[in-house]
Amino acid sequence: MSTLINGQHIDSVSALDRGLLFGDGLFETLAFMDGHCPLWDRHMDRLRRGAEILRIEAPERGRLKDECRELAGARGKRVIRLTLTRGTGGRGYWPDAGAPSTRIVQRRDWPTGLDDAHRSGLKAITSTVQLASQRLLSGLKHCNRLEQILAAQECQARGADEAVLFDQDGRVAEAISSNLLLRIGGQWRAPQSPSAVAGVGLAWLSETSPLGVCRASIDATDLDQADAILVINSVAGVRPLRQLDERELIIDEDCRQLQRHWNQTLIPPCDDC
């Protein structure tokens, strides 16, 4: 089995689960390599913060790690999706404050095509989808992802690999399932928007980058001035954009240096990768 629900080898939840009915939950997508998740503590900190804000019962970290490792195995690369919902109970939008949460751990195959994306870059569009700006949910990786699905459908229709999304205040927020890093006037900048997920990979890279990264509010004019753009998430790592709409972007030594920093500093040696 590739799924554990509350520690049991089953693959279905109750039709009354609030994660299914209302998107009332959180999730983390983790990269495991030879049984090790390089960004584990950062993922767990974000999950705990989200559970506190949503007032969902958070599971014990040690139990979660054991369950993730059980599915990931001791060798090779695996993607583990961890979903935490409020569970069942309550009436409509009114939750049961004492209900136990539901934790779902799922194993997925490592994505294909990453080597080519790292080397050649991605074709991206500026999405027409705007992300809602709800400050109470700022930074959370919650289970309501309809805006991202709409953006992905737009990419499919326009033959693109990725999209740059703005928030409703006209600021660059993020990519579909990744954070962004833009080089503007020679300075690497991470967009500052309450609509963006607080990415654990971007946080690590911002703190450790040999090139320096600053947080900044970035509008459409700034985006037009960016000569290089990277998309970053904890599984896919650092991927450059080669094109945004009809504009060609640079993939130069600075981009390669950030990729090497990720691969050589964050990723442990993998025996069967």
* CATH number of the domain to which 220 belongs: 3.20.10.10
**What is the pLDDT at residue 226?**
98
Backbone CA torsion sign across 116, 258, 183, 155: positive
Burial class (CB in 10 A: 0-12, 13-18, 19+), 7: middle
Listed in sequence order, the DSSP H helices in the chain are 18-22, 40-54, 61-72, 114-120, 146-158, 200-208, 220-225, 253-261
Residues 123, 92 share a domain: no
What's the predicted TM-score (pTM) here? 0.94
Residues 120, 37 share a domain: no
With CA atoms as reference, report the closest residue to 159 among 255, 250, 246.
246
What kind and span of H or E run contains 247? strand 247-248
Residues 147, 261 share a domain: yes
- Residue 149 lies inside a defined structural domain of this protein: yes
Q: Which of 110, 132, 150 is the last residue of a domain?
A: 110
CA 139 to centroid of chain Cα atoms: 11
The pLDDT of 253-273, averaged and rounded, is 84
- Residue 190 lies inside a defined structural domain of this protein: yes
Residue type, position 19, single letter:
G
Asked if pLDDT for residue 272 goes beyond 70, the answer is no
Residues 181, 154 share a domain: yes
The tokens for 103 are 């934790």
Residue 19 neighbours by CB distance under 10 Å: 24
- Residue 105 lies inside a defined structural domain of this protein: yes
Residues 152, 50 share a domain: no
The pLDDT of 53-68, averaged and rounded, is 95
Residue 250 lies in domain: 115-266
Number of domains in the chain: 2
Average pLDDT of the residues of the chain = 95
Asked if pLDDT for residue 273 goes beyond 60, the answer is no
**What is the pLDDT at residue 267?**
84
Residues 200, 183 share a domain: yes
Residues 166, 210 share a domain: yes
- Residue 272 lies inside a defined structural domain of this protein: no
